[in-house]
């Protein structure tokens, strides 16, 4: 099959729209993963409650992401009725971004946990000796040191999430791969569409990987 350059330039705008959706999914989902993962890491240190949270996170980590996406999407109703606002639709994008965020929160929580456990015991003892409140101990002593150490590892999960977004085709999210499949099936030219998908993923992934490698070098001695 000969490469059709005219067709390539024709479908690029549609694929770029799909890339925009993919980036939105990644950034919003990653924000959820970072925030929820930190909360989980802190809660896991609470007796009894921590054991339950650990079990739930293990279940999420050992379950395929695509299964979670399909299960949640078809389990939820099409919309929720809110007072005054009325019916609020639950879109595939919303389900996808939340499931992505929760799934990766199970991994970022472990990263945060390793960072928290890496804080020297003397730091905790010094905080207690100064009678610092718990919130002050976590916010001013523990977390600033812990998060600084795990920034490179957290960055790796950003790239992983970006590469997992094509799984959202299973619930109909019009991300990059889904748009390419639609374009290819309508025109019977899959080679150009799928090749462009690979190139666009590389266009975003490679610069991101370079930034993360620099972060690793910068914080390696921390």
pLDDT digits (tens, 9 = 90+) for 46-76: 888 888 998 999 999 999 999 999 999 988 8
| pTM, entire model | 0.87
Per-domain residue ranges of the chain:
12-219
The correct CATH number of 12-219 out of 1.10.3720.10, 3.40.50.300, 3.40.50.80, 2.40.50.140 is 1.10.3720.10
Alpha-carbon gap, residue 212 to 176, rounded angstroms: 23
**pLDDT, position 27:** 95
Query: What is the helix (H) or strand (E) element at residue 80, kind and residue range?
Result: strand 79-82
Q: Helices (H) and strands (E) in the chain — how many of each?
A: 9, 2
Percent of the chain at pLDDT > 70 equals: 93
**pLDDT, position 81:** 56
Residues facing 86 on adjacent strands: 82
pLDDT digits (tens, 9 = 90+) for 133-150: 878 888 778 888 888 888
């Amino acid at each position: 099959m000969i490469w059709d350059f005219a067709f390539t330039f024709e479908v690029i705008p549609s694929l770029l729209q799909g890339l925009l959706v993919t980036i939105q999914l990644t950034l919003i989902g990653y924000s959820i993963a970072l925030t929820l993962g930190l909360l989980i890491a802190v809660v896991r240190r609470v007796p009894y409650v921590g054991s339950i949270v650990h079990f739930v996170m293990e279940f999420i980590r050992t379950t395929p992401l695509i299964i979670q996406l399909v299960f949640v999407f078809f389990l939820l109703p099409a919309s929720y009725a809110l007072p005054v606002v009325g019916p609020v639709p639950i879109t595939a994008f919303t389900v996808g971004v939340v499931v992505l965020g929760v799934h990766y929160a199970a991994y970022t929580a472990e990263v945060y946990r390793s960072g928290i456990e890496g804080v020297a015991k003397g730091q905790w003892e010094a905080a207690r000796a100064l009678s610092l409140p718990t919130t002050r101990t976590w916010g001013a002593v523990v977390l600033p040191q812990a998060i600084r150490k795990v920034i490179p590892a957290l960055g790796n999960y950003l790239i992983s999430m970006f590469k997992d977004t094509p799984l959202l085709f299973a619930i109909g999210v019009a991300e990059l791969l889904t748009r390419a499949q639609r374009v290819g099936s309508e025109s019977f030219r899959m080679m150009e569409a799928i090749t462009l998908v690979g190139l666009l993923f590389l266009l975003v992934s490679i610069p991101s990987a370079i930034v993360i490698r620099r972060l690793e070098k910068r914080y390696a001695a921390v």
